[in-house]
A and B are shown apart, each in its own frame.
Chain A
Amino acid sequence: MVAALAYFLLPLVWLLISATKNTQDLFTTFGLWFSRSPQLLANVGATVTHDGGVFLRWLLNTVLYAGVSAVGAALLAAAAGYGFAKFRFRGHGAWFNLVVGAVMVPTTALAIPTYLLFAQVGLVDTPMAVILPSLVNPFGLFLMRVYAQDAVPDHVIEAARIDGAGEWRIFAQIALRLLAPGLVTVVLFTLVATWNNYFLPLIMLNDPKLYPVTVGLASWAAQAQNGGAGASGEMLPLVVTGSLLSIVPLVVAFLLLQRYWQSGLAAGSVKQ
């Protein structure tokens, strides 16, 4: 288990140590130990000011895309999951099976056709091009339906109806609160998926000002690779430091919200 832990954590330790080095030290000092003159702050400064501070912009874009996508996807999945769990309507079974069947359809296979479709309606190279496809999460719907089945008891809904509450009010004020743990799980999954997404923004966005941090870092890495000396050689510490900065927020979110991973997954993975 110690060996396992070392395997999973050492690359991140390397990243942390490397973010304190200049280009020369990256090449000449041992990767898993500090150089004589650590310069983390200088590297961070260089990273966030390079190219007119574009890195911070990328981080903000990522927060925007991932935040809007995650909250939107979770609310859509919660409403639909609640609807499928607690109501019967025409086409109920067929619709649900159609969506669950789509769980197997890979998002990447959809990305290029979605790009071609968005190109027809002028959505390409806008934030919506990245956010819209992330709002539909079939697996999230599946999880929320399973979760709503137990989390929102029928007698609670009935009692609220007898008290004269409308359907919308029952959902917004009672069901949503009971669904909260499952909701957070879907938010987390979508957040990680959108935060880490690369393929979709890569094909949808041309304007570097709109890039999320993944696409931005990859473009820097390509610059750092070209030649490796001179102006591009100075890019390497920026790529390493930028990589470190881009994972800090998500790792912190992970540590704070870790108990939600289990509760939501337990509901989805077992009761089939």
Chain B
Amino acid sequence: MGPRRAGALFVAPFLALFLLLFLAPLGYAAYLSLFQHRLIGGTVFVGLDNYLKAVTDPVFLRGVARVATFFVIQVPVMLVLALVFALTLDSGLLRLARVVRLGIFVPYAVPSVVAALMWGYLYGRDYGPFAQLGRLLHVPVPDFLGGSWLLGSLANVVTWEFVGYNMIILYAALRTISPDLYEAAAVDGAGAWRIAWSVKLPALRPALVLTLLFSVIGSFQLFNEPKLLQPLAPAVIDSGYTANLYAYSLAFTGQQVNYAATVSFLLGLVIVAVSYGFLFASNRRREV
């Protein structure tokens, strides 16, 4: 067996499954999105009707707008925290750095189902410790599960879950920077802050772009946390609260398979477009 054929055989199993489980569902969703099931006449080809319906569907648009808002608020907070922790750990000025690193990272091991349930109980008006403390000290505590607070409460759950994960990615990148760079900078008279700003941050660029891309994907497909807090805040979290919840309810409660496929497909397109937008922006900036 020649090396050429061997190489093809090594990649074949992965690519076969990739075609079956990645490209086939995408193709199937695209196909389904071009049809409609009608009571009279059965399934008919409708071209782009489903897409026209989706881009003018107030529920879908509201869901996308909500996850976009969530992204704009939550991701900067999360990544700045992750960056600060990673730089602090990397500076070597911290005692018990290993314990701190693990403590911040541990929430990533907690399933989002458990994290959402746990925070849901913590937010609770009856037995949540915040409300209990508030009653003890006679301080009014906001209604974390009320309409105006809920998106912030969700953002807090996601931040709690993923700061550590992003911190580890950034920290791993920091550990690979050659010490020679620091020495050269120190010889040039740079202090710790200057080194962090002028040496570490530029070196972190690829890792930061990576964390940003993961965050785009995570925020825009937000589902688990709102789905689990739904029973606690039924008045606020409706079946179209996020774009993904909407797709889910369309498919499994509304039985609108074709429209659900359209919404899933469109949401995927939105995420890919936003991701590549960030990638191009970061690459352009690098060339300038």
Contacts and interface: CB of A to CB of B under 8 A. Distances in A.
Bound pair (A, B): yes
Contact of A141 (B14, B119, B210, B227): B14
B25 A106 contact: no
Contacts of A79: 10-11, 13-14
A27 B126 contact: yes
Interface of A: 1, 4-5, 7-9, 11-12, 14-15, 18, 26-28, 30-32, 76-77, 79-80, 82-84, 86-90, 92, 95, 99, 102-117, 132-133, 135-136, 138, 141, 166-168, 171, 192, 195-196, 198-199, 203, 213-215, 217-218, 221-222, 225-226, 239-240, 243, 246-247, 250-251, 253-255, 258, 261-263, 265-266, 269-270, 272
Contacts of A99: 14-15, 18
Contacts of A108: 221, 223, 244
B112 to A, nearest CB: 6
A4 B85 contact: yes
Contact of A80 (B15, B26, B132, B261): B15
B265 to A, nearest CB: 7
B264 interface: yes
A88 B5 CA distance: 9
Given A106-B271, A196-B112, A198-B111, A112 B261 contact: yes
A195 B115 CA distance: 13
A272 B15 CA distance: 22
Nearest to B99: A5
B275 A5 contact: no
Contacts of A9: 103, 106
B55 interface: no
A90 B94 CA distance: 52
A110 B268 contact: yes
Contacts of A247: 109-111, 114
Chain B interface mostly: helix
B138 interface: no
28 contacts: A14-B122, A26-B127, A79-B13, A83-B6, A83-B8, A87-B3, A89-B5, A104-B213, A109-B265, A113-B28, A132-B17, A133-B21, A138-B22, A166-B1, A167-B1, A167-B9, A167-B10, A192-B108, A195-B111, A199-B223, A199-B224, A221-B231, A222-B231, A251-B106, A254-B102, A269-B173, A269-B206, A269-B207
B195 interface: no
Interface string B1-41: 10111111111011101100110111011001000000000
A83 B110 contact: no
Contact of B21 (A115, A136, A196): A136
Contacts of A221: 117, 228, 231
B283 to A, nearest CB: 11
Contact of B232 (A5, A138, A225): A225
A198 B22 contact: no
Contacts of B81: 4
A87 B10 contact: yes
Given A112-B29, A262-B168, 15 more contacts: A1-B88, A12-B118, A31-B122, A80-B14, A102-B18, A106-B268, A113-B25, A116-B32, A138-B22, A192-B108, A203-B251, A214-B113, A265-B169, A269-B173, A270-B173
Contacts, number: 267
A32 to B, nearest CB: 5
Contacts of A196: 110-113
Interface string B244-278: 10011001100001001100110110011001100
A112 B22 CA distance: 12
Contacts of B3: 87, 167
Contact of B171 (A88, A113, A195, A262): A262
A262 B114 contact: no
Given A1-B94, A109-B265, A270-B206, A88 B7 contact: yes
Contact of B15 (A95, A198, A254, A270): A95
A31 B267 contact: no
Contacts of B32: 113, 116
B252 A109 contact: no
Given A76-B13, A214-B111, A261-B168, A105 B26 contact: yes
A84 to B, nearest CB: 6
B280 to A, nearest CB: 12
Contacts of B112: 196, 198
B175 interface: yes
Contact of B22 (A95, A102, A265): A102
Interface in B128-164: 128-129, 132, 160, 163-164
